[in-house]
Amino acid sequence: MSTRLYPAFKNGNSKLHVFLPDFWMKLVKPSHNLLPNQVQFVVSPQMTKLDVKQYLEKIYNVPVIHVNTFNKMGKTKTVPNQYITKEPDEKIAFVTLHKDHKFVFPDIFAKGDEELNEQSKSTKASKEQYAQKTKLNVSKQGVPTWFSH
Amino acid sequence: MVQSGKFSIGAALFVSTLKKISLTNSQESNYFQTCTNTSNKRFRFLGSFFFWRHLNLLSKKKKKGKKKKPFFRPANSTSIHMTSFKSSNLMQFFDDPKNFGASEVKSGRSWTVDELRIKSNIDLQKLWFVLLKERNMLLTMEYNCREACYLFPSPERIDKIQDSMTRLEQVIHERNDAYWQLEIGEEAPKPRAEKTLDPTDPLAAIREPMEAVTQVKDRATLKFQYLIKEKERKLKLKQKRLHEREAAMLLKYFPNMDKEALQAKYPDVNVEKLKFVQRTRGSHEFNTA
């Protein structure tokens, strides 16, 4: 359950207890339509299905019925005749909760649009101000505003 | 504890079944003894034994009229009843709804080493889980912001969390080291393997991800491998030509120099062949004749 080094497991040994688990999990907006009791995660690539289950049950107190994982390769992108870049690989986990439980992905940018609108409003106002200022000099373009004659 | 898999989280604080067990000093130092712990094999199979009993296969009596289907249930189905699900549990992965869409989120400083050294082991473990949840939250917010082409507000929070987590690990390792030196007389093994790139290899940083994709025979990866090999080849050839030019220049200006020493300096250059190349001929009298 962590990226640290542990002694190799041999039959008969006691289970290794990880007191400071190190893995991360990201709750992601689902890539396609899922059932209401399903959640999509991007998890750290060393994690197994059992790890995902234990992680959610013990740390987040979320009961899990089933876990499915797969590795998704990062896309390669080419800049023609120059170089190739590759995005990092991801492990994706689909977690199903009990059929009675439901999870809806929240709207994270609810206020963000308002802020953007405010920004656009302020830019509009400043543009109008600028237009009013420059309107005086239509007949004599290129002349500074303080020039009265 | 779940009975499957080699590993299990030792988060005693978050499991209701383990609440009864009082954490004594011997258990507190359990973390340090993980490397030396050995116990009987039979405990690992206890879980499977109870599992078979659930299936009703051990009972000898069989009714002829009604056939009961074996009541199948996953081994750790009890967890469903133990834990009460709330949507707020999964909402821990997200930031406070006040901060949704905010352009800036203010935060305090990270934990210092001196502050962490005062704490007990149990306190440190509690703090670790708080930090872990916080990091998961920040990572999810960052990921979702990037997917939606939004700016992630105040990304320095991730660095702060990472700093305090590494410091906590450092403090734990210090204590573990002290324990080992007292009891065993050796330094404690390092928690992580240190990765060192080969300094002589100019493509060492690229080679690692390249090896990861060698198993995949995708069209894109094949192209990637082909191109990276070409790059490597070109680099080698470039270096060889540079050596050749240097050796040629040396021969040109110092025609009586020691050929064996030259060969030793540039092992990839054929000096015998280089003697008859036109550019090694200087404007000396014995050459022009």
Interface of A with B in 102-121 (CB under 8 A): 102-104, 106-115
B6 contacts A9? CB cut-off 8 A = yes
CB contact under 8 A, A53 and B2: yes
Find all residues with CB under 8 Å of B202, minimum gap 6, and list them.
B235
Tell me whether residue B238 is in a domain.
yes
Residue with tokens 């296969």: B57
The answer to whether position B176 is within a domain reads: yes
Q: Given the DSSP bridges, would you call strands A38-43 and A83-86 parallel, antiparallel or unpaired?
A: unpaired
In a domain, B114, yes or no: yes
Residues forming a β-bridge with A85 = A77
Within this chain, do residues B180 and B210 fall inside the same structural domain, yes or no?
no
Q: Which two tokens stand for residue A54?
A: 């234990």
The residue whose two tokens read 């989280």 is B9
Q: Give the span between the Cα atoms of B145 and B140, in whole angstroms.
A: 8
What is the mean pLDDT of the segment spanning B241-267? 91
Q: Are residues B179 and B224 in the same domain?
A: no
Interface contact B224-A111, CB threshold 8 A: no
Question: Does B115 lie in the same domain as B92?
Answer: yes
Show the tokens assigned to B206. Answer: 């690229």
- Angstrom distance (rounded) from CA B85 to CA A102: 10
Which residue did the predictor score with more confidence, B42 or B264? Answer: B264
- Angle in degrees, 0-180, between the axes of helices B121-147 and B156-183, rounded to the nearest 10: 150
Confirm whether pTM is higher than 0.80.
Answer: no
Task: Check pLDDT > 90 for residue B129.
Answer: yes
Residue B231 shares a structural domain with residue B174: no
Q: Which CATH architecture has domain A1-106?
A: 2-Layer Sandwich (3.30)
**Chain A partners within 8 Å of B30 (Cβ):** 17, 19
Domain limits of chain A? 1-106, 109-140
The whole-number pLDDT of residue B187 equals 93
Q: In terms of DSSP H, where are the helices of chain B?
A: 25-28, 42-54, 78-82, 87-90, 113-118, 121-147, 156-183, 204-212, 219-253, 259-265, 271-274, 285-288
Tell me B144's DSSP state: H
Query: Average pLDDT, whole number, for chain B?
Result: 76
Kindly determine whether residue A58 and residue B11, on different chains, have CB atoms separated by under 8 Å: yes
CB atoms within 10 A of CB A73: 16
ipTM summary value? 0.78
Q: Identify whether residues B221 and B272 lie together within a single domain.
A: yes
Write out the residue range of the structural domain in which residue B116 sits.
Answer: 88-191
Average pLDDT over chain A reads 87
Q: Are residues B177 and B100 in the same domain?
A: yes
